[in-house]
């Protein structure tokens, strides 16, 4: 009887790994280039590359501006980002993988120069970035980004 119970437990565990892919697999799908879309106008604005750095955290850098001058700068940003070129600017900083999402870091809005708490997840093959004033994400808004071609 014990042998059958042990086999059942082992089989159930193996089946659960097959039925539910690891959460980091979903996080890996977030890596790469994404076309940002303005949540108010629907206009495609830039290409952002999301990557995992050597510190194990996730970041996102603007690699190409799709609108405006190519040498546009972050005039509203503070500190070392003040007047930094938008192309090359890291706007997603220090995110950690948590239950198939990226959380815990900050998101920079280059238009206002303000940082927000961030959360990133996938929904229907699109990337959803939520920027909020509070850590829980109650006071904020979403942007849905498309996989860049």
CATH code of 59's domain: 2.40.128.520
Show the tokens assigned to 24: 């980091």
Per residue in 113-142, pLDDT (tens digit) is 999 999 999 999 999 999 999 877 778 899
Using alpha carbons only, give the angle 26, 27, 33 rounded to the nearest 5 degrees.
110
pLDDT at 8 over 90: no
Please report, rounded to a whole number, the percentage of residues in the chain having pLDDT higher than 70.
83
Paired with 51 in beta bridges are: 59
Cα 2 from chain centre: 47
Instruction: Identify whether 14 is part of a domain.
Output: no
- Would 6 be classed as within a structural domain? no
Looking at the whole model, is its pTM more than 0.75?
A: yes
Q: How many domains, in total, are found in the chain? A: 1
Note down the domain range covering 113.
23-147
Contacts for 114 with CB less than 8 Å, ≥ 6 apart: 76, 108
Rg, the chain, Cα only: 19
Inter-residue contact 120 to 101 (CB < 8 Å): yes
The pLDDT assigned to 16 comes to 42
């Amino acid at each position: 009887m014990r042998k059958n119970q042990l086999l059942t437990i082992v089989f159930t565990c193996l089946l659960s790994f097959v039925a539910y892919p690891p959460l980091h697999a979903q996080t890996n799908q977030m890596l790469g280039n994404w076309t940002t879309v303005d949540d108010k106008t629907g206009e495609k604005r830039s290409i952002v590359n999301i990557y995992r750095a050597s510190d194990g955290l996730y970041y996102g850098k603007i690699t190409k501006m799709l609108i405006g001058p190519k040498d546009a700068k972050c005039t509203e940003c503070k500190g070392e980002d003040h007047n930094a070129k938008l192309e090359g600017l890291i706007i997603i900083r220090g995110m950690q993988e948590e239950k198939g999402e990226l959380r815990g870091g900050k998101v920079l809005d280059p238009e206002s120069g303000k940082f927000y708490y961030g959360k990133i997840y996938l929904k229907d093959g699109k990337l959803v970035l939520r920027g909020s004033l509070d850590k829980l994400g109650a006071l904020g808004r979403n942007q849905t980004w498309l996989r860049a071609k």
